[in-house]
Structure 1
Amino acid sequence: MTVRLFDLSSSWRLPATPEEVWAIIADVDMSWPNWWPHCSFAAPLVRTEPASNNQEDILKATTAYLNFRASLGYTLTISIHPTKVVTPTEIEFDAGGHLDGIGRVTLSPGANGDATRMDIEWRVRPTQRWMNFLAPIAAPAFAAAHASMMHQGERGLVKALTNESPQTKE
C-alpha cells in the first residue's frame, strides 16, 4: 500500500505582536490544550535534560503528546518535538504518532507591528492503516478536517490573545 504524503499549510492572522503570540505558542509547559478546542494531552510532557535553562533549549528537550479530535469523528494522537527554535519567529519540529513527518511554524509581524501572521506547514504521512487505505479517495475530506481543526486553533488563540474566556471543551 502506498502511503500518501500530505503537505498542509495554514496562515493565521492574530491581533498581537509576534512576541505576544510566541509567549503562548512556545510556552515550555505546552499550554495548547488550554486554548485550542478539541486538543488535549495524550500523555504527560517528556523532557530530557536541556542544554541550558533558556526557553529555546527547554523546548528542544521537550516532546508533547497531543490528541486532536477531527470533525469527521476520529482522533489523531501526535507527538511534537521541536528541533529548531528561533525566538520569536520560528519553530521546526518532528511529528510522530498517527502522523509522521515534520512541521514548521513561522511568525511575521504585520505592517503596523500590532498584528502577526502565523504560517503553519505540515509535511506528514499517516501511520494508521485505515487512513492509508482510505487516503486515495478520502484525501480531500482529511484535508478539510485538517483545515477545520486549524481554524478552531486560530479562533482559540485569538481568544487567548485578547483575554476572552476560554472555549468550552467538548
Structure 2
Amino acid sequence: MPSGVSSGAVLIASEPRLGRVRRRGYVLTSDWRVGAPLARCWDVLADPALTWPVWWPHLRTRDVRPVDGLVGSSATLLFRTPLGYALRVGLVVESAQPQRRVLVRASGDLEGHGDVVLEALAPDRTRIGVVWDVRTTRAWMNATAPLLGRVFTASHARVMRLGERGLDRHLAATAPVADPARDVTGT
C-alpha cells in the first residue's frame, strides 16, 4: 500500500511567446512509495509493451515503439485529467540506467524533460521520484495559467497519485506467491 505520495509543483516564469500567448513553465515533483522490490517496479515501468494503462487510471497509450536497451524508445501518452481535459504527451527515452534512472524528453501538450529515479528503501519497498520540467503548449492553458496555474498543478498531483496507487495495487496483485512445498525449513 502506498504510504502517500508527496507532490510539489512550482509555476515558474513565463516562457517566450507561442503565438500571441506566453508559454508557462512548471517544475512538477512526485515522490512515490511502492510496496514492492525495486526490480519488480523497474520491470513494470520499463516494460517494452508499455502496459501502464492496465494499472494507471485515465491513461491510454499509442504509437508505442520500444527499442532494446530503452534509449530511443518512444510512446504517446493520453491522459484524461480530473478537470476533464485531455493531455497528449509524447515521450522519448534519452538516457537509461537500468533499475536506477530514466531521463525522457516530452513533446506535445507539454514540452520539456522528465527525470525518474528509483531507490530501494527496503527489500520490499521502493521510492520512485519523478521530476518534470515542462512548459505548456496549448494556447488556452497558457492564457489561463495566471489564474489556473495552481489548479493545473493540483490536477497533475492527482494524476500522479492515481499512478502511484495503481502501480502499488498492480504489484501487490501480481506478486509472486511463495510455494509452501519449497519451504525446506520445516516451518
Q: TM-score, normalised by structure 1?
A: 0.87
Unaligned runs of 5+ in 2: 1-20, 175-187
Q: Aligned AA for 1:44?
A: D
Q: Give the equivalent residue in structure 2 for 1:94.
A: 105
Shift of 1:2: 2.2
Q: Give the equivalent residue in structure 1 for 2:115.
A: 104
Q: Distance in 2 between matches of 1:139 and 1:115?
A: 33
Shift of 1:60: 1.6
State the aligned residue count.
Answer: 154
Q: Give the equivalent residue in structure 1 for 2:33.
A: 13
Q: TM-score, normalised by structure 2?
A: 0.79
Counterpart secondary structure, 1:29: coil
Shift of 1:61: 2.6
Deviations 1:119-147 (A, max 9, x none): 01100001100000001110000000000
RMSD of aligned Cα (Å): 1.2
Answering whether residue 66 of structure 2 is matched by residue 62 of structure 1, we say no
Aligned mate of 2:48, from 2, 24, 28? 28
Answer with 1 or 2: which has the greater Rg.
Answer: 2
Unaligned runs of 5+ in 1: 165-170
Shift of 1:65: 0.5
Q: Give the equivalent residue in structure 2 for 1:44.
A: 63
Q: Give the equivalent residue in structure 1 for 2:146.
A: 136
Q: Distance in 2 between matches of 1:114 and 1:121?
A: 23
Q: Aligned AA for 2:167?
A: L
Q: Distance in 1 between matches of 2:71 and 2:52?
A: 17
Q: Percent identity?
A: 35
